[in-house]
Amino acid sequence: MRSGRAINIALHYGLTLVELLIGLTLGIILIWGGIQIFVAGQHAYRESQRFSVLQGHVSFVTDSVLNDVRGASAVALNASFDTLTINQGAAVITYQLTNDAELHRTVTGEAAAVIADNIQTVLFSCLDAESVVVACGNAVTLLTQVQLSTGAADYSQQHQFSFRVALRNAVMTQKFVAAASGG
């Protein structure tokens, strides 16, 4: 009989208003925490996608320019330093930024190819052995500076990177001249 009475007592006692409010408050806090974790995960995913695109652009631009400049017999820049012309024997390769924010690579006799998009600025500089800006005929290094944007239109970020590449033929010429003169 005692077990029947214990069940009866339990049925008479329900949740009070205070217990219900505390339970709802704890539930809301848990749901809010779950939503925050979900939002943080979405933000991290978008950032990793943005950096993946950025890495792809940077890698492709640097690889293209590096390969072409290393085999150059001569390089030339226009007056505004945003167009690079590379002579490789019979082939002439040109890198130029268009009004559509695309970096184009043109090889003699071929159509222009888009190397990267969302490029804001490209500046090329010819440097001597002491990293002083000189005329390209006296240069041993080419400095390339690129500014590009990544992300959606409502959340776009600017990124700048620069890299140097040695003009192999100019470096070798300097080494042979120095060796021949006893330096």
What pTM was estimated for this model as a whole? 0.70
| Average pLDDT of the residues in 52-57 | 86
- Going by C-alpha positions, the residue among 136, 131, 146, 175 that lies closest to residue 65 is 146
Is 5 a residue whose pLDDT tops 80?
Answer: no
The mean of the pLDDT values for the chain is 84
- Going by C-alpha positions, the residue among 133, 136, 143 that lies closest to residue 164 is 143
Structure tokens at 128: 């001597």
- Going by C-alpha positions, the residue among 133, 137, 115 that lies closest to residue 125 is 133
| Average pLDDT of the residues in 40-63 | 89
| Average pLDDT of the residues in 140-145 | 87
Predicted confidence at residue 16, as pLDDT, reads 86
Distance from C-alpha of 27 to C-alpha of 18, rounded to nearest angstrom: 14
Residue 166: band (very low, low, confident or very high) from pLDDT cuts 50, 70, 90: confident
| Average pLDDT of the residues in 129-155 | 82
Among the residue ranges 5-14, 64-73, 124-133, 161-170, the one predicted with the least confidence is 5-14
Identify which of 12-16, 64-68, 164-168 has the greatest average pLDDT: 64-68
Predicted confidence at residue 21, as pLDDT, reads 93
Question: What would the pLDDT profile of 88-105 be if each residue is shown by its tens digit?
Answer: 888 899 999 988 888 999
- Going by C-alpha positions, the residue among 127, 125, 146 that lies closest to residue 61 is 146
